[in-house]
Amino acid sequence: MDTTWMDIAAAHGALAVGLLVVGVVVVALLIGAFVLGVRVRRREPRPPRPDEQPRLPAEGPVREVRENREPAEVSKSENRLTAHDLPGHGNIPSRPSPSQERPRWTEGGSGSFGSGGT
């Protein structure tokens, strides 16, 4: 009697059982992750109600300020400067420019790249 087919069938059965066990473990991990997510969500504060939302100031919306700023000059030295060598540890202060007109490109000059020619 040839038992080769029975050995092959037994091997496939073990593989099927192994895949079934792996599937059950994956489903258990997904359910555990969901339960953990629900617990974490319950510990978080609730979302604010409409009456707790931020309100617009009485003087109206805040407007942005547009002004031209001039950077502070960096002293020239023979050594390369790093951020901690600069005043304010790299946070170079700036001051308002005396002229608040927006800089415009000269006629025939380049905008952001190129030679500026025609």
The single-letter code of the amino acid at 34 is F
At 86-105, the pLDDT tens digits run 666 656 677 788 877 776 66
Instruction: Decide if 42 contacts 36 (C-beta within 8 A).
Output: no
At 16-65, the pLDDT tens digits run 788 889 999 999 999 999 999 999 999 999 989 999 998 888 888 888 87
Half-sphere exposure of 37 (CA within 13 A, CB side): 6
Q: Look-up: residue for tokens 């025609």?
A: 118
